[in-house]
Amino acid sequence: MSITIKDVEHVANLARLELSNEEKEQFTGQLNAILKYAEKLNSLDTDNVEPTSHVLPITNVMREDITRESLPIEKVLLNAPDEEDGQIKVPAVLE
Amino acid sequence: MSLFDLRLQDVHSKLNNKELTVSDLVNASYRRITETDETIKAFLTLNEENARREADNLDKQLQEGGERGLLFGLPAGVKDNIVTEGLLTTCASQFLSNYNPIYDATTVSKLKSAQSVTIGKLNMDEFAMGGSNENSSYYPTRNPWNPEYVPGGSSGGSAASVAAGQVYFSLGSDTGGSIRQPAAYCGIVGLKPTYGLVSRFGLVAFASSLDQIGPLTKNVEDSAYVLQAIAGYDEKDSTSANVNIPDYTSALTGDVKGLRIGVPREYLGEGIDPQVKEAVMQALKTFESMGATWEEVSLPHTEYAIATYYLLASSEASSNLARFDGVRYGVRADNPDNLIDLYRKSRSQGFGPEVKRRIMLGTYALSSGYYDAYYLKAQKVRTLIKQDFDNVFNQYDIIIGPTAPTTAFKIGDQVGDPLTMYLNDICTIPVSLAGIPAISVPCGTADGMPIGLQIIGKAFDESTVLRAAHAFEQQTEFHKSRPQLG
């Protein structure tokens, strides 16, 4: 499998990244090298191997569903780049 | 001798006897930073005003008497991906250049309970992605043993600040070796605890199934004390392990008689610097002389670990870093055409090249059509790598090898070749994938640069790891040498 500039553009779009032409070319080469290296995993037979997504035997950590105090709005908005009336402001989504 | 070379008990008895104040310790820290950090560049943000106020408070408490925290009065540095309320936390990224956290990470709250004093925030590779600190978007940290060399990474600032005597200890984070490798390169002690032992709440996530916070210290005893202070179950971290926390310092008996050591041949094979190998072999002789035994063992899937790691860690990163969209915090790009454009421009302007590269790799590995071939495959190989360790630990108490195949390299030498840079992590990455604890301790030098010995243990058996590391330290002088600076 070889990655083309088109693939890089597609992935960049999925990742919400805007790449310069130079970056696109560089990443095409570098990602190809890394993925070629990763192909060595294919030499291992893993048909009967369970995947490890997490090393600890912990699943479904629950807590009691009780209402707790939230952070104050002023604190939550402290780092917001733009805000109005206690809400975070972004460009219009609908025309 | 620096105040920070004193043993913790000696610092505390001097405080008791009024030979020393916490303000003296904090002053010594900032003085040393003023003297050396123009060269070393370990710090991104200083917490000077608050730290001096805190020192005054602790000195008052000292006069009044009463119960004191385990790390009372000790100047501490915190890696800049661990959030600190009211203290800038940038992850060495332009994206978070203005990020002022509204809460403390659990480890930071625990340091506050233990009454250490936070001196400032430490430089790192951007979002912990890298092994040299050259990926900091502000400036690279330099190795105190030779400023032309990298300090390692990603916790390079954490390691350099301890090695340079700027702080008593520091916290770092380790995803694939980011505590152990810089500790090795800077000639200090770095411990990556078992996954789940230390809370990740407030650690800005890179790869959630691998990330773990741990101490960087001058010696093993300090490492045990800091681990004691930060370990423990945290309901705010759903991957936190609910296990009993033993008394780590009581494990430091100096006795390793009968300890069974496995030495993986894969860690001493091709690519390892002969001087590093020689230092490891000498260390094994030291263990033998103390009554431990060692045998060569095999971790047969080692050669697959780096590919596995870069697929899994990058996939997790691509998902974790989706939160950096310029909406709620961080730097927002000017004049976006619409909301999607706002995400795109903010992310493209805010992230550096290595971060973009890993987001791209991870997004590709998780994308439709490739998930099974890359991500799922890597998760299966992770199982095989973990089983390698399980098999060895059926017959051995610890595993010993080098922390890194070489000593620190020169700044600029490996930039532009990400794959070679990734190969530096061959001895630390398998351990991270298995989630088990490991410590790096100084075991010699090659051409003036420090070499690290890696001691790996069973899950949640930090006590044996610390006991072995401490016994080795008692027999050697490596941990006592300090770089000559300014």
What is residue A29's three-state secondary structure? helix
Indicate the angle between helix axes A21-38 and B305-320, nearest 10 degrees. Answer: 140
pTM score:
0.97
Which pLDDT score, from 0 to 100, does residue B469 have? 98
Instruction: For residue B303, list chain A residues with Cβ-Cβ distance below 8 A.
Output: 40
pLDDT at B321: 98
Residue type, B483: P
Q: What is the mean pLDDT of residues B356-377?
A: 94
B281, two tokens: 């072999």
- Compute how many other C-beta atoms are within 10 angstroms of the C-beta atom of residue B281: 12
Q: Which pLDDT score is estimated for B66? A: 81
> Where do we find the tokens 């009968």?
B258
DSSP state of A70: P
d(CA A65, CA A11): 39
Structure confidence at residue B313 as a pLDDT band (50, 70, 90): very high
Q: What is the percent of chain B where pLDDT is above 70?
A: 99
- The answer to whether residue B317 scores a pLDDT higher than 70 is yes
**Closest-CA residue in chain A for B435?**
A55
pLDDT value of position B206: 97
Kindly state the average pLDDT of the residues B87-109. 98
Task: Please determine, for residue B476, whether its predicted confidence score (pLDDT) is greater than 70.
Answer: yes
**Best CA proximity match to B220, nearest among B460, B444, B446, B443:** B443
Residue B161 — pLDDT band, cuts 50, 70, 90?
very high
Q: What percent of chain B has pLDDT over 90?
A: 94
Average pLDDT score over residue span B13-18: 95
Mean pLDDT over all residues of chain B?
A: 96
pLDDT on residue B264: 98
Q: What would the pLDDT profile of B45-57 be if each residue is shown by its tens digit?
A: 999 999 999 999 9
pLDDT of residue A93: 82
- What is the distance in angstroms between the CA of the first residue and the CA of the last residue of chain B? 14
B347 neighbourhood in chain A, CB within 8 Å: 15-18
Give CA–CA dist B453/B451, Å, rounded. Answer: 7
Give residue B451's region: left, alpha or beta (phi > 0; psi -120 to 50): beta
Is there a contact between B141 and B157 (Cβ–Cβ < 8 Å)? yes
Q: Is A24 on the interface with B (CB under 8 A)?
A: no
Residue B304 CA to residue B253 CA, distance in Å, equals: 37
Residue B77 above 90 pLDDT? yes
Tell me the mean pLDDT in the region A25-35: 93
Q: Does B319 touch chain A if contact means CB atoms closer than 8 Å? A: no
Give the confidence band of A1 by pLDDT, cuts at 50, 70, 90: low
Which positions in chain B touch A18 (Cβ < 8 Å)? 344-345, 347-348
Q: Which residues of A touch B102 (CB under 8 A)?
A: 71, 75-76, 78-79
Say if the Cβ atoms of A93 and B339 lie within 8 Å: yes
Q: How far apart are CA B8 and CA B357, in angstroms?
A: 43
Interface pTM, i.e. ipTM: 0.95
Q: What is the pLDDT of residues B221-275, one digit of tens each?
A: 999 999 999 999 999 999 999 999 999 999 999 999 999 999 999 999 888 999 9
B98 touches chain A (CB under 8 A): yes
Alpha-carbon torsion, ordered B28, B31, B35, B38, to 10 deg = 110
Tell me what pLDDT residue B381 has.
98
CA angle, residues A83, A87, A88, in degrees to nearest 5: 55
**Res B135 pLDDT > 70:** yes
- Give residue B123's pLDDT: 98
Residue A82: DSSP 8-state: S
* pLDDT, mean of residues B202-230: 98
pLDDT band at B352 (very low <50, low <70, confident <90, very high): very high
| C-beta contacts of B270-278 below 8 A and 24+ residues apart | B271/B405, B271/B423, B271/B426, B272/B402, B272/B405, B272/B406, B273/B405, B273/B406, B273/B407, B273/B446, B275/B407, B275/B444, B275/B446, B275/B447, B275/B451, B276/B402, B276/B404, B276/B405, B276/B406, B276/B407, B276/B446, B276/B451, B277/B402, B278/B444
Of all residues in chain B, the one with the smallest CA distance to A53 is B379
Mean pLDDT across A61-76: 91
For an interface test with A, give the residue of B195, B238, B239, B364 to mutate (most A CBs within 10 A).
B364
Give me the active site residues of B, please. 79, 154, 178
The answer, yes or no, to whether residue A95 has pLDDT greater than 70, is no
Q: What is the pLDDT of residues B23-35, one digit of tens each?
A: 999 999 999 999 9
Check if B307 contacts A (Cβ < 8 Å): yes
Q: Is the pLDDT of residue B486 over 70?
A: no
